[in-house]
Structure 1
Amino acid sequence: MADRFNTIAGWTLFSGVVALGLASISGHYFKADKEHRPEKMGYEIEGVAAEGGEKTVAIEALLATADAAKGEATFKKCVACHTINQGGANGIGPNLYAVFGAAVGGHVAGFAYSDALKAKGGKWDWATMNEWLTNPKKFAEGTKMSFAGISDPAERANLMVYLNAQGSNLPLPAVPAAAEGAEAGAEVAAAVVGDAAKGEQVFKKCVACHTVNAGGANGIGPNLNGVAGSKVGAHAAGFAYSDALKGKGGVWDDATLDAWLTNPRAFAAGNKMTFAGLSNPQDRADVIAYIKAAK
């Protein structure tokens, strides 16, 4: 009887060991006990970046929708070393007023720039400033700049738009076609159709500054009757457009109107428009439809 019991117990123990071994082997084989995806996916999932990578957005596309007010908040990281007001004193770093378009390593007369920065040459354009703000030490090895840089591209874009508005006002760079299709044109792809009647209601936010009837007077902003298809920064005769807006060029087509209504400050940094913009794509489409239909 005891032998029979020992035999049953032995087989039971053996079965348990085999089951445990098989579970371990299957776990290693299929990586079932891991918290990450397999090394090679069976098929790609649209919109999901591969592990270890990320989708990138062109800095030009980010600049087109950047927020100067957020950039001003980011600049608080810089005030320990820099001033940005016109005529401001140099500190540990140079005064940054009107830095865009100025010579790299030579913007402020009399400031002791590092040899590394002076040797870079060129001017502080959008691409150069983006590279500098990403990693100053990598941009000019040996620079005196101790700040590590800003890793978030959107935050850099906000800061650059703010810096540019302080005495420089360079035109924003053109958005690459690929970025326009993937990012800036995402709303167009969604085919948002405007409703002029609803746009009239949204336009009530604009009447403090603009008229839209034919022959209407200019106010704080220009009369907008017939603005669609007209030249940017030159529609209303006699109106004093900002240099930033006049420097944009092009015409007020649907895409341009949409970009302007999204964020006027980002569209033309340094313009006089104080309205923050319309974040809702449908509201923008409705306003554009209303303006185009106005008589």
Structure 2
Amino acid sequence: MELKEIEINPKMAQEMLNYNTCNRPLSKNIVTKYARMMKRDEWYLSHQAIAFAENESGQLVLVDGQHRLEAVIQSGISVKFSVIYNAVQTPYIDTARNRTFIDNLNIYNKTSRYTKTMMGILNLITSINKIKNITQTDRQQFCDYYYEIFLSVDNIYKTSKTKSGGCPLKTALFLAINENRNKTNLKEKLENYMYIFNTGNVSVDDDYGDYVKEMRDHYYLQNREFNKIYSSNSASLRRKKLTSIFLYSIECYINNRKYIASFDMEDRLLKKIEKQYGKIKK
């Protein structure tokens, strides 16, 4: 195999794509994401090469790199790449597990500060609000901006030893903590909320605890209801609805309001996500 370091401009990228005859279907979202990174000077030369091989007829074939080359064209700028010629096609190497963006953040920054909780919450937030073309820099900025909030979520969730709720509950805690971070009794309120959610036990002097228990029962009913949905978007629908229910009930409890199931819960959720995600995009 022959390795070269080449600065590829849009014209060269188009010429290379003429040999693209055996790749998987192109993802426009990935191309747009890569192009955005290139325009923001966030694309770096690496060992991950654009690769060419020869087919049985001796003709040149692009076997790896179509999305990167399309991104060069879309960005309109020149980008430096490692390029391999006479590549050996080995489709079965390293297919068991891809690195997550959290893996990459920790490796790149030589740290372990980025956690699975961050990944789960950010993935759910971007999925619910249909935020696309998220770059690695976007993700790191989000995780760094809300780092202390993520730690609070992990601490409250682990302390409560809950095994229910999962990522929707963690995401609701994240949004609620950030929105109400100036409340003096926030930590105590959230710990009480999680205790009631976990056990169903309500203290006699907790006027609003019964509403949390009400929501808890509603959650389990909803959980069974959503499990009956077998359409392709059932998982996404379920996670969005559960996050909405949790967020609304948490805010009712910490603000001493009565919990009444509301039709605008999902709209409130979307507005909060848009507001909080928008803070780091300004």
TM-score bracket, shorter-length normalisation: under 0.3
TM, length-normalised to structure 1: 0.25
- Larger fraction in helix: 2
Q: Which has the higher contact order (CA 8 A, sep 6+)?
A: 1
- Larger fraction in strand: 2
- Higher-Rg structure is 1
TM, length-normalised to structure 2: 0.26
